[in-house]
Chains A and B, each alone.
Chain A
Amino acid sequence: MTGAEWLPPRSRGVIALIEENCTSCMLCARECPAWCIHIDSRQETLPSATGRGRDTTRNVLERFAIDYSLCMYCSICVEVCPFDALHWSPEYAYAEGDIRELTHEKDRLREWMWTVPPPPTLDEHAEPAKEIAAAEKAARRSRR
């Protein structure tokens, strides 16, 4: 896209957002030392599925914006996210003539997701990812 392909896979170029994974829990906005993450969300009430139980509420994300004029690329938000909604992309070329344009709203943050490289392959004899181990265990159990 902008020549970022020769960079190491874990380069911190820009932060991408998978909106579907975000529960608007506010953890990233609270941990951010630069105060650059802005989140707005609303509560939605869902009637209970059976019609007899209690209604459930869930948070719906309305706004997710990262102000790259303040971001210091510390990666705390990416690490603190419990649902893997934030990912690093190596893309770095997003300079702007107007500082206000450096605030990327959720549509733009989602677009960066397509530039996130796949995670690097594991070293030989490394422990497999926990998710894979859990899935294999579940598969074995269902076969029995």
Chain B
Amino acid sequence: MTGSTWLARVEAAYVGAAVEEEFGLLSVDVPPDRWTDAVTVARESLGCTFFDWLSAVDELEEGFRVVCHLAARRTGAVEHLVVRTRIPRDHPVVASVAGVFGGARWHERETHEMFGIEFTEDGAVLPLEGLLLPEEFEGHPLRKDFVLASRVARPWPGAKEPGESDERPRAARARRRALPPGVPDPGQWPGSTTQDEP
């Protein structure tokens, strides 16, 4: 196989799948039912014997993207490959790749804990233990709708208007109150009793 480029080899190994090059890194998108096969192909046909990491991205209404970074070593260089799949938000289940790379189990436990994604083996959902969070922790902190405790415990310092201070809040508001970017709307916080200010 020497002589052909890494891109050509990846494209030949994943016929029909979308291979993209972004920032010098090759990524291949596969349907979720081919997830384990795709990772196996990378190891068996492309020589990706190094499993780097597996995680996920919360893409809101588009679901979760499960991402796995693999690498192939050859003399004097390393070739990288990112394998990705997208699973629906209301049914976040994907097959485990721990049968291909044993070390992936750690990453799947973390992904399970942080995103609430279930991993299956032979169709059965694996009972994955937590990894980093305390036992009594509730929720999946890397989901974008998760509200961080530190964002609830303290008011947003940017809520004040110019000319306003903590001691003298301005009574009449000319404009609608600014909201902190990236924080879910307070009216939608789980267990919240306060609704939007009028």
Contacts from A to B (Cβ < 8 Å): 23-26, 29-33, 35-43, 57, 59, 62-63
* Residue in B154, B156, B165, B178 whose CB lies within 8 Å of A62: B165
19 additional contacts, CB 8 Å, given A25-B162, A43-B163? A23-B162, A24-B162, A26-B161, A26-B162, A30-B181, A32-B157, A32-B158, A33-B182, A35-B157, A37-B157, A38-B157, A39-B160, A40-B160, A40-B165, A40-B167, A41-B162, A42-B165, A59-B163, A63-B165
**Complex interface: chain A residues within 8 A of B161 (CB):** 26
Question: How many residues does chain B have at the interface if contact means C-beta atoms less than 8 Å apart?
Answer: 18
Known: A40-B165, A41-B165. A35 touches B160 (CB 8 A): no
How far apart are the CA atoms of A99 and B182 in the complex, in Å? 26
Contact assessment for B157 and A42 in the assembled complex, using a CB-CB cutoff below 8 Å: no
Measured CA separation A63–B157 after assembly (Å): 12
Select B163's contact among A29, A38, A41, beta carbons within 8 Å. Answer: A41
- Known contacts: A35-B180, A42-B168. The answer to whether A30 contacts B163 by CB under 8 A is no
Write the nearest CB–CB distance from B148 to chain A, whole angstroms.
10
The residue in chain A whose Cβ has the minimal distance to the Cβ of B163 is A43
Knowing A35-B180, A42-B163 are in contact, say whether A26-B168 is a contact too (CB < 8 A).
Answer: no
